[in-house]
Structures are given as structure tokens and as C-alpha cells.
Amino acid sequence: MTSARHLGKNFLVRLLSLLLLGAHVVGLLSVVALPTAEAQLGKPEGLYYKSWAIIIGIENYVLAPPIPGAISDAKKVAEAFRRLGFDEVVEFYDKDASSRRLHQLLNDMLPRKVGRMDRLVLFYVGHAGFMQDFDGHDRGYLVPFDAQVNNATKSITVEHLKEFTRRSASKHTLLILDAPVFGWETTEPSGLSLEGRLAPESDTDRRAVQVISAAGKGETAVRAEKSSRFVQTLLIGLSGAADLDGNGWLMASELGTYLVRQVEAASNGTQRPSILRIEGDGDTALVEGRRSAFMLGAGPRTPSERQREAKAHYERALALLQEGKSGEEALERLDRAISYDPTYGSAYVLKSYVRLEVVPNLDEALATGLLAVKYAPGNPDSFYTLGLIHEKRGEFAEAEAALRQALVVNSTYQDVYFTLGALYADHLNDQAKSVEAFRRYLELGGTDPRARATVSQADRIPAP
């Protein structure tokens, strides 16, 4: 990869904001407005008669601290399920997610309306707490809009959720919880290998209740810049990056595995999502691909095949950036490359640049930059880009250290000297080091006017 500074000059990546299309945006639906399930006899034409996504986002609590950006995150998830073709995407925000409404939703409305050949995804972003049951085991709970974090009286407990999934007739139920919720009883998960399956129905016809939780006991579901790391990764996964075997089918087990890997890596192990199956032995299909691909287990399986596939996605991401095309699509390609080869250093380097300059997210840029220097320590761009990230975050001492390490790897890296010269002058108040860095930059063939002027002025000042 060329230097981040040169990439910035070469790429004019224009990012399109996600617009709410007024004609297609469905407002908050009342619980009583949910359509009643019709009799479902025989098999549907596809895998499901109807697909439901229940989206719960609580930002401004009555009795608990606010969670800035929670509703925005929830709306992005709702839109993602609309793009996946879900028939009913029902949203509950703040006061509509009161204790009474959520208990009514789980105890009455959904069990009556969701049919036996339907799939149901419930997404929650909000506070969570935990309590001890009669046997002394810790059990998590969701905190409704009008409940307290430290009091389970009005909460939605793990037991409530398990009872709801037992009463729901849906063939497949997936709970995605952007909160540390634990205390489930699980059934043995199946592996991800597709080898030997005769048809998609071998997994998708069997009942399954699955849970993906954003963090474990004692951990925090990290939020930065009014956005959740878990949700950011979830959206990328739902766009196709979580299709780990590349066969066109996105299964809940694959999504969970992808989230565990990516969030744990980005947090350096401080946030560890979990994927559990609490009932049945099937698997929820989130994206239905070609049946032949599912039957044959298409997609790379051996290490060499996965590395080749990772390289192909990396090169496609680089081409997209060079052509000035979608930065988001480039990110998806890079995430897929990393999913095939989690040690692919060049993919982390390029992704850290994209998150710095093209699709900015400084927290993710930093997390990816740290992985870049871990997996590509011999690439000076790893340290150079990490230095630029630290500088933009206002972490100037860390920026200097990273840039100096880039010069350890490549002592003739022209752009690093220029960046160091500016860093010393603008932020570290060290004119002598600034002149030294700019002088070395010019000796290596640099032509920037600022470096010329700084060195020229220093040379005109007589030595004391």
C-alpha cells in the first residue's frame, strides 16, 4: 500500500449519506396494529412464510442514564433487516419500550401473531442488569424505558425471554442483544462445516432459538462517538461479510462467529460477544443463497483456499478505492478478507486507513491500526497510519512513537519525516526536531513548500 498521505491525494471517495426515504419509512407501529398470523399449512415457497424483525432501542431512560446514539443504532439495524427483505420490521423506541408494552409484546402479541413457519429476529439496544436466582446463579435482564438498572422488578429477565421463545411458534428465533446478557441454558451448537448436508432444509427445517449477546459478564458493550462497536460490526456482517464460507447463505451461527471474532479483536479482548443456541439444533437463515451452493458447501475451506480468497477481496477493496468507488463496499471487502484470514496484515493496514480518511471512525481506525502493527510489523505503513490516527485523536506522544517506529522499519520513508516535522512544530513544540525532520524529508527528495520554508528560515538564523 502506498502511504496514507498519497492515498488521500489519489482517492476522491465520495460517501453518500444514508437518507430516510419518506415514502418507504414505516413509522413506529402500535403493538395492536401487528397483523394476525394466518393459518400456515404445508410448506412455504421459500424457507419462511413471514419474516419478523422486532427492533427495541432505548436512549432516554426515565430512571437510568441515557445511552447517546442508541436509537440511531437501532434504526440502522431496522433498515438493514428491511434490505434483507423482512416482511414486518416493527420498531419500539424510548417510551414505546416501557415495561408494560414489552411484557405485552412478549407475553401476548407475538406468540399470537407469529406463525410456525416464520422466522423472528429480536434486536435490543439499551441497559442491562443482572440478579441472582434462587440457586445463586447470575441471570441477566433487559431494562425497559421506565425501569431501574439495579432493580429487576420491571425488567425483562432471561427467564422471561426463554418463556417467550418457548411460547412462540416460530420455526427460528434469533435474539441479538447489544448488552451484556448472560445466564442462559444452552444446547450443543453445531459446527459451521456445510460438508455432507443434503439440502438447506437439513438445518433450516429444524427448530432453533439462538442468542447473540454483545458482551459477557462484567464486560461493557462499548459505545464511542454515539455508536456501538457491536452494532457497527453487526451491520457489516449483515451486509455479507459474515458469510464465512462464501456460499451465499448467511446463517445466524456464522453471524455470531463473525461478531465474536471481530469485536473481540477490535477491543483487544475486553469485549467478548457470545453466540448460544438455547433450544433446538437448527440454524436461522438470514440470507438465503443458492441451494446448490448450500448443498455442495461452496466456498474456500482449506487454509490455502481461504488465503487466496482473502487476497482477492483485499485486491478488490484496493481497486474500489483507486477507482473512487464506495468506501463502504471497500470496507465490506476488507472485512470479508479478514474473516477468511484473521492474520492478514495488509488488510488491517488498508482498513485502518479507510477508517481514518475515507469512512471515518477513529475508534475503529485505532483498533484496526493496532491489529495492523500486530500482524504486519514489517510494513512501515502499519506504523505510519497508526501515527496519523493517534495524531487525529490528539494523542501526540503516541503519534510520535508510532511514526518513529515506521522509520525503524524504513529509514528512508519520506512522508513519515514530513509528518513528524509538522507534528513537532504544531503539537509538540519542538522546533529543533521539526527542522531536523523536514531537512531529512528534503534530502530524500521531498518538495513540500512548508518543509522548504522551515529549513530555509532555520539556516538563515545564525547559530548562538
**Residue listed under C-alpha cell 425471554:** 161
pLDDT attached to residue 36 = 56
Q: Are 347 and 314 in contact (CB under 8 A)?
A: yes
Average pLDDT, the chain: 82
Reduce the DSSP state of residue 93 to 3 states and report it: strand
Task: Please state which of the ranges 70-79, 204-213, 426-435 shows the lowest mean pLDDT.
Answer: 204-213
pLDDT of residue 233: 92
Cell 426515565 found at = 62
The answer to whether residue 294 scores a pLDDT higher than 50 is no
Half-sphere exposure in the Cβ direction for 189 (13 Å, CA) = 19
> Is residue 136 very low, low, confident or very high in pLDDT (cuts 50, 70, 90)?
low
Q: What is the per-residue pLDDT for 18?
A: 26
Output the nine-digit C-alpha cell for 116. Answer: 410456525
Most confident option among 37-41, 202-206, 408-412, 456-460: 408-412
pLDDT number for residue 336: 84
Q: Is a pLDDT exceeding 90 seen at residue 41? A: no
Distance in angstroms (rounded) separating the CA atoms of residues 284 and 249: 10
Name the residue among 441, 375, 383 with its Cα closest to residue 407: 383
Report the helix count and the strand count for the chain, using DSSP H and E. 18, 13
Looking at 25-29, 167-171, 328-332, 338-342, which range is the least confident one? 25-29
Does residue 151 register a pLDDT over 90?
no
Indicate if the pLDDT at residue 133 is higher than 80.
no
**H/E element, 432:** helix 431-443
Are the C-beta atoms of 155 and 129 separated by less than 8 Å? Answer: yes
Q: What is the pLDDT of residues 344-361, one digit of tens each?
A: 999 999 999 999 999 999
pLDDT at 463: 54
User: Residue 33: pLDDT band by 50, 70, 90 thresholds?
Assistant: low
The values of phi and psi at residue 122, to 5°, are -115, 120
pLDDT reading at 108 higher than 50: yes
DSSP 188: P
* Calpha distance 363→271 (Å, rounded): 14
Residue 75, all three cell numbers: 434504526
Which residue has cell 477491543? 267
Please check the confidence at residue 75 and state whether its pLDDT lies above 90.
yes
Identify which has the larger pLDDT, 300 or 456.
456
pLDDT band at 409 (very low <50, low <70, confident <90, very high): very high
Whether the per-residue pLDDT at 200 is higher than 90: the answer is no
Strand pairing of 172-178 and 119-125?
parallel
**Could you give the domains of the chain?**
48-296 (3.40.50.1460), 303-460 (1.25.40.10)
Predicted confidence at residue 318, as pLDDT, reads: 86
- Identify the pLDDT of residue 174: 96
Which of 12-21, 102-111, 372-381 shows the lowest per-residue confidence on average (mean pLDDT)?
12-21
* Mean pLDDT, rounded, for 412-436: 95
So what's the pLDDT on residue 316?
85
pLDDT exceeds 50 at position 194: no
Q: What pLDDT is recorded for position 430?
A: 95
> Would you say residue 4 has pLDDT above 60?
no
Q: In a 10 Å sphere around its CB, with 0-12 CB exposed, 13-18 middle and 19+ buried, how is residue 213 labelled? A: buried
416 torsion bin: left (phi>0), alpha (psi -120 to 50), beta (else): alpha
What cell was used for 277?
A: 443456541
Terminal-to-terminal C-alpha distance of the chain: 44
pTM for the predicted model, two decimal places: 0.58
pLDDT exceeds cutoff 70 at 452: yes
Q: Mean pLDDT over residues 279-285, rounded?
A: 88
